[in-house]
Each structure stands twice: as C-alpha cells, then as structure tokens.
Chains A and B, each alone.
Chain A
C-alpha cells in the first residue's frame, strides 16, 4: 500500500515536470513563423557580448555595440558591408580640395520617433554634443574646429587639418543623430529617440538581459526585413554558445576557437573574415624601460624567434592567417609580400641577440586572461629557446588595457582592430597615438603620416604602403596572425559580414530564402 502511494506521488511529480516542459511559449525560437514566400520575418535574435552604457549617442561605441545603436539611430553617412560609403541622413557630401571643409546636404524628409524634425541645426547640436560629452569615440571628431549651418539642409564642417577618416566618423558613432528635443536630457540615457528603422521597446527590455526593438512604422527609409529585433545580452561565452546551439539566438559571435569548432560541428553557418591582428607589440622602442629593445636587432630577434605556424594551430586551432604586417587586407597600406616578410628562424635570432650584445636579455611579459594560454606558452617558450629570460606577470580582470596604455610594460601580446589606414596611423603609429604609450617617434614615419594626411586620394595608397614597410622593417611589432571572427548563424537567417567591424551592421541581416 505504502509503495503504491509512493509510486503514485513520483508519477505525479514526473507528469507535472513534463507538463511544465511542454506548456508555455517556446521562448524565443527565433526564425519561427517565417513566411517562406515573404521577404520579412517576425523576429531576429542576436546574441550580444556587450550592452551599451547609455543610449545617449555621444556615449556610443563601435564594434559589438554598432548594430544596437544603428537599430534606433541613423547616421549621416552609411558604411556598406564592403566599406564604401553611401547616403543616409546626408544625401550627398563633398570634401574640399584642401581637405579642410566638408559640406553635407541633408535630407529634408526625416522625422524622429517623437515627431520632431531633422535639419542642420539638429545635426550641428548632435555633433557638438558628441564632442563635448567625452564619450568613448569623441576623438573621432577632433579635427572638426567649427560647424556652420547656412540653411536647414546644409551642414558645413570646418576642419583644423585634413582628416581622411571624416566620412568614416560620420558613418560611425559620431554620425548617430538623435532628436534635438531629446538630446542632452537625462531620459535619453535609457530611452533613445532616433529616426532609425526600429524603436526601443522599453517595457520588454531588461538591463543586462535583453534589448528589444520593434519596427518603426514611420521609418523614412527602406524597411528592414525583421518586424522585431532582440539583442540577447550573453556576456558569458558558455551561455552564448549554448544559446546558439539550442537555437535561442539566430546569430552570435564566439571568441574561443574551441567553441567555434563546436559550432562548426553543430552545423552552424559562418564566413571567415577578420577584423584585427594579434601579435606582440614592442611598445618600448626607445628603451625607456628595457634598454635593449631600442636596438632594432633585438626586436627582430624576438620577432623571428616566434613560430607563427605553431601558434596558429595551438592558439587559434587553425582558424587564423599568419601575417607579419599590422595593416589589414582592406587597407591601402596592405601588401601581399609583407604577409610573410620574415620566416621563423631561431638560429638567426640568437645571432642577432649576440650581435646586439643582448645575450642576457630578460624582461617581464604580462599575461591576460583574454587570450588562450597556449599563445603565451608558445611565445615564452620560443623566446626562452633563444636564451631570453621571460618572467610572467598575470594581469587581473580589467587590468590589461589600462596597464598597456599606461606604459607599464615594454612588450605585450594583444589583439587590435585593423582600422582604416588613417585610423591605423593615428591610433597605433603616431607619436601621440593611444597605442604608442611610450610616445615613440620616428621622423621618417612622422613625415609619411603628414604626407598621407595632405595627399590626394590617388597619392595615398603608395604612402600608406611606405608606412607599412617602414613599420615592418623597423620591427615595431611582431604580428602573429589575423584570427577569423567566429560569427555563427543558423539556417533561418542570411548574414553579410561587415568589413572592419566586429559584428555585422543591423542592415546586414535578412531571412534565409
């Protein structure tokens, strides 16, 4: 009797558990309900590594955050998947011959979601707010000295110096246009008011969990395919992978090669593209902390001692391309012969150290938890094999970038975005570049950078290539590889990857036919 009753209870519990698992909505099985004959679909779910700090466009950032802002804010110019520029809120633009004036003609048929109109005064207010608010991308408009608005549809940017990256800035964070009435208010931090293809659904968005957008029925431009877009915030890689494998998100990016292999094995789709380079940065090229590093032979020795092929296999599981240049394949400075400017040669590395009198070279090498430990193990072993003494220093979470940019270490391993030619020069190579923390200066390089800035569009490619060669010949860096971006998506969606951007723009998704 007792056993029968016990079994009955267990059976009831099991039945209840099964009922719970069967009833209720199936959550966000994105892609369901897609009409195979329609070019629209109800929902796109994107797994996002990050969430925005604020919906104030002045606090916008690029990379992983780009599509989140693009959903609600249009930019003055639009950057296409192949990196070219097309009209958006500006129907046309022109850069003067001396490069000091940029004139934009603005659309006159755009209204924001609060009903207010877009004109040159609103555009000017947005750009000035962007510069003054000290946001992450504020420096992208540092060349803008003043802004004129001769009429409602004309915007004139007066530059302090020619800026080859002004179109890029206006297609990126600096170009996001918010309603003039919402700009500068506290509300805009959590409730964006833009003219974009979607409107934020604040009732269904949860900080740290999800950002839900619904279609802007009054959008001035071509409507995007999805009625709703949800960004599922999945900072943890395991959670993001599981969400992809279980179909809870349509598309997401993975950072670990091992997880990427799992996604490949599960039949998810991907397209190899890279947006950055990984390798060693010889920050202290003047020898302030590590005197030996001032000698190019020492830097060359450390560079040619690296077995790139082994690191690509062990660290990236083959999902990367070996390289010896920092300029990206889509830049003017990139050249095929600099992909393998030097070979792995530990014997020659020993000779160079001896020639430079640096046989006893020793330095501390910082380790970040961001990268696969096997990369560090390989690098350190390679250098120890040529007689260098390497001491490890473990960075804690959140320490790496501040430490590097604070000139705390002479050498470090890092992955950096491969920007435009001008961006590359400004962020990595110029004496005041953020990623030149020891302010290394090279007169020849400085002259080339200035020449690039002042040159015509036809002259720039050759100058950029010269810059690249100089940096490679001087061993300012020891690039190792360009890793594939591990963006994966299921078979309900089509994706066009975006050149020089970590994830596709919001415009690049459509239902699979």
Chain B
C-alpha cells in the first residue's frame, strides 16, 4: 500500500492530466451531440494543432498560451471549412458516409504531417516548463496547473456559447430535432460546420496547453484520442458536463491504476470502469438517452 505522500500527488496529477483529456473529449462529444458522428479525424487535428503551436513558437516566438488565441480561431475556421466544404458534401447526407470521410481525413492529415515534418519528435523549451509550486507535500507543475484552470475557462465559455447565444441555441435545436430546426429556418449545414469548428477549436486549445510540457510528432494525437473516445462514452455521448467529469475521472483512474498495477497496465483501470459503466448504465454517466 502506498502512503499518502504518493497517493495525494498521484490523484492531483490524475486530475490535471484528466482536465486536458476532458478538453479533447469536449470537442469530440460536441461534434457527436450535434452531428451524431464519431469524428475520427480528431486525433490528427490535435497533432496538426500541436504542430501549429510548435511553429508559432519556433517561427514567431509566440508562447503557446498566447498562440492559443491565434490558433483556436484558425482551427475553428479550419474545422468550419472541413465540415462545410469536405465532410458535408462528400457524405451526401448519410451519417455513415460522414464517419468514413472523417476516417479518410485522419489518414490524409496524418500523412501530410508526416510528409511535411517527418516522424521526428519535437519539443519546445520554455523557461516556466520546469517551474513548480511547492504546496507542502508535493510540487505542482505550473504548466499543468495553467492547463487545469484553462480547461474550466473553456468549458465555461462553451457553456455560455451554447446557452446565451443564438448560434448556441440553434446548435442545441439541431442536436435535438434536425428537421424541426430546419423548418424553423435554421441553416443546418451552417450549424453543423459551426459545431465542427467549435470542436476543432477545443482541440486546438488542448494542443496549446499540452505543448509546453509535451512533445509533438505526426501521430501524437492518437494517444489522447483513444482515451477521449472512452471519456465520451463514459460521460454520455454528446454530454458536455459528462465529458468534463468523465475526463477528470479517467485521469485519476489512470494515475491510480498506473501506481497500483504498474505503468504498463495503467490504462486497464480506464477500460474496466468503461465496461462497468456500459454494463450498469449504457447511456453513460450523464447521457440522457441512447
């Protein structure tokens, strides 16, 4: 049995890692909630955004946290364009086609990154990357604390967009009843693209939060997206609070199972809980209906 000297920091680390998982999952669940598709290109977009943050630092000297304000709108536009001009038209209105198109996009984006930047792993070195706050019983890394706080700000902003703006209301309307929304004069193609854009912007912010302490290579996104898929199902597909809580739970579970079962088996905990939730509550923790 581990002492609290290890257990408490491990839980805190799990929460901080989980927050970033949650942000990746947030984008995924948003897209699922409205478009009813699992976006397979999510991981590739995360890798692309991390490269964007990397080059913003290397070429423009922009700190990743500052670059987020540039990269997030850029990726919003990219996501909007992808859905409006590629995924939407190519899928001919069939959800199954949409799924395949995103899968194809993932392959294209990943290989384009590989072609442009090679498989080499890159990192950036920031003066504060090693900074820690001494909270008495452990050291908390500042970049991870910033990430943790930023995720809640983003979640709050997302909540505000969804509840206080006309676009947000339209998104919720389309998610609930597409035909009805269309009949009320909502441009569904536009709303689809807006949602995809918002999801992609979430991923871009996650990339900027990860970059100070993590590395980037063309396949780095996959490591996060597999976990994000689990979170989306765990939290309830399409549920924003579900993704947030699910992310934190998964972070802690991964951290603790890594501690008790060894790092190699760290993810077993996640998938055990995942199976248990599916057995007991198939709609996920916060899922209203299947």
Q: Does A associate with B in a complex?
A: no
What is the interface of chain B, defined by CB distance below 8 A to chain A? none
What is the interface of chain A, defined by CB distance below 8 A to chain B? none
